Structure 1
Amino acid sequence: MSTEATLLARSGSKCELCSAETSLSPYVVAPHTQLSVDHGVMICDHCKAQLEEPEQTDVNHWHCLNESMWSEHPPVQVLAWRQLKQLSAENGWAHDLLDMMYMEEDVQKWAESGLNDVQEKTLDANGAELNKGDNVTVIKDLPIKGTKQVIKQGTVIRGIGLSDDPTLVSGKVNGQSMYVIAAFCRKK
């Protein structure tokens, strides 16, 4: 039996992420490059397009990960973990699912290694790369967690710092050091 036929049988002829039954194709989970049962999944075109172009992510579509994250197959677990990790910065439900997820140590390392390859640059709301020392403007009112304070739209954060998490920048706002989601900033 071919690898594609084996994946199709394993998945029950459904997308292994969202359970769609149409437009299925095999997908190799990075950093692997050769399709195999151990490194591939069967996914629909909709999931594939969003994995390959994260800026077009339909957040509501990914609620399907609530089911697929429990798959017994490591490549499915890896993709579910990576997608939840990318969504968790802005979506509480994704963060909650990520906290519940368990993977074997080698599968966790696989998931983390691929995420670093995919998401290494910190980008602003317009997709411009942010670097340490840049000045940014906040593009919408942002509530500060744990307080009733708000960072107002138009606030300038000077000399930002970068963190291990490429979705965040650090800086001082009103004399207080904090992290801000890079997607809510615009490079000056």
Structure 2
Amino acid sequence: MSDLRKQLEDRSGNACELCAATDTLEVKVNLDTYQVPDSPKNVKDTAILACETCRTQLEDESLVDANHWRALNDSMWSPVPAVQVVVYRMLDQLRPHGWPVDLIDMMYLEDSTKQWAEDGIHRGPKIIHKDVNGNILQRGDSIVIIKDLPVKGSSLIAKRGTAVRNISLVHDNANQIEGKVGPTQVVLLTQFVKKTSKED
């Protein structure tokens, strides 16, 4: 058994971290590791322990059974960011059923976890963020502002030449990114920034 599998079993109490299914004498739920897609490089724990039913439905949208996922009512309170991300994404996918919307509204995710969850949600055409030179921007990139920009809602001016590290992407708008100018978190237009490098 791999160290990762053992860690996940210990963390979960040998139960599916999504629906809480466990092996019984009558039924084997085939628990195994599930790597969370679209995970940032700087996150250590990007796997969860999930049963075969959950893994199958996560990997094939056409097999999703909304009633099976009512168990997320409990797992949404998990303190494990990787579990929170999978729960959030599945609830988002199930929005048309109505009841998941209330659960999403009740969930509390740290900003970084919410961004991780949103990065893996592909609603409609994939949104691609590009800088002034057409370079594709990704979460974690560093950019330089290429002209003085007033910051909406404040007297701050983001000066030309200012470097902004570890940007995040506005997931529903290809023309906007977010980052810190000094201590202030601001939204920047991609047409006024130039990519410099990826933060490791």
Q: Secondary structure at the match of 1:82?
A: helix
How many residues are matched? 119
In the alignment, which of 94, 102, 110 is matched to residue 96 of structure 1? Answer: 102
With normalisation by structure 2, the TM-score equals: 0.56
Contact kept, 8 Å, 1:84 with 1:95, in 2: the verdict is: yes
Contact kept, 8 Å, 2:39 with 2:116, in 1: the verdict is: no
2: CA distance between counterparts of 1:20 and 1:37? 25
Matches within 5 A, 1:114-129: 114-116=120-122, 119-121=123-125
2: CA distance between counterparts of 1:37 and 1:12? 20
The two structures, once aligned, show a CA RMSD in angstroms of: 2.2
Measured at CA, do residues 18 and 85 of structure 1 come closer, stay the same or move farther in structure 2, by a change above 3 Å? Answer: same
Match of 2:11 in 1: 10
Q: What is the letter of the counterpart of residue 102 of structure 1?
A: Y
Match of 1:69 in 2: 76
2: CA distance between counterparts of 1:33 and 1:7? 19
Contact kept, 8 Å, 2:38 with 2:119, in 1: the verdict is: yes
Tell me if 1:81 matches 2:82. no
1: CA distance between counterparts of 2:66 and 2:11? 26
1: CA distance between counterparts of 2:63 and 2:8? 26
2: CA distance between counterparts of 1:2 and 1:69? 26
Q: Secondary structure at the match of 1:42?
A: strand
Encode CA deviations 1:95-114: one digit per residue, 9 max, x unaligned.
11111111000000000001
2: CA distance between counterparts of 1:105 and 1:13? 29
Larger Cα Rg: Structure 1 or Structure 2?
2
2: CA distance between counterparts of 1:110 and 1:38? 12
Measured at CA, do residues 16 and 6 of structure 1 come closer, stay the same or move farther in structure 2, by a change above 3 Å? Answer: same
In the alignment, which of 112, 116, 120 is matched to residue 110 of structure 1? Answer: 116
Query: Post-superposition shift, 1:32?
Result: 3.5
Percent identity between the two aligned chains = 42
Runs of at least 4 residues off by over 3 Å: 119-122
With normalisation by structure 1, the TM-score equals: 0.59
Q: Secondary structure at the match of 2:34?
A: strand
Contact kept, 8 Å, 1:28 with 1:40, in 2: the verdict is: yes
Q: Secondary structure at the match of 1:115?
A: coil
Match of 1:60 in 2: 67
In the alignment, which of 21, 31, 38 is matched to residue 24 of structure 1? Answer: 31
Q: Any gaps of 5 or more consecutive residues in structure 2?
A: 23-28, 127-171, 173-200
Query: Post-superposition shift, 1:33?
Result: 9.2
2: CA distance between counterparts of 1:120 and 1:110? 18
2: CA distance between counterparts of 1:25 and 1:37? 18
2: CA distance between counterparts of 1:2 and 1:11? 14
Encode CA deviations 1:30-77: one digit per residue, 9 max, x unaligned.
11399x961100000000000000111101000000000100000000
2: CA distance between counterparts of 1:37 and 1:25? 18
Contact kept, 8 Å, 1:3 with 1:37, in 2: the verdict is: no
Contact kept, 8 Å, 1:6 with 1:37, in 2: the verdict is: no
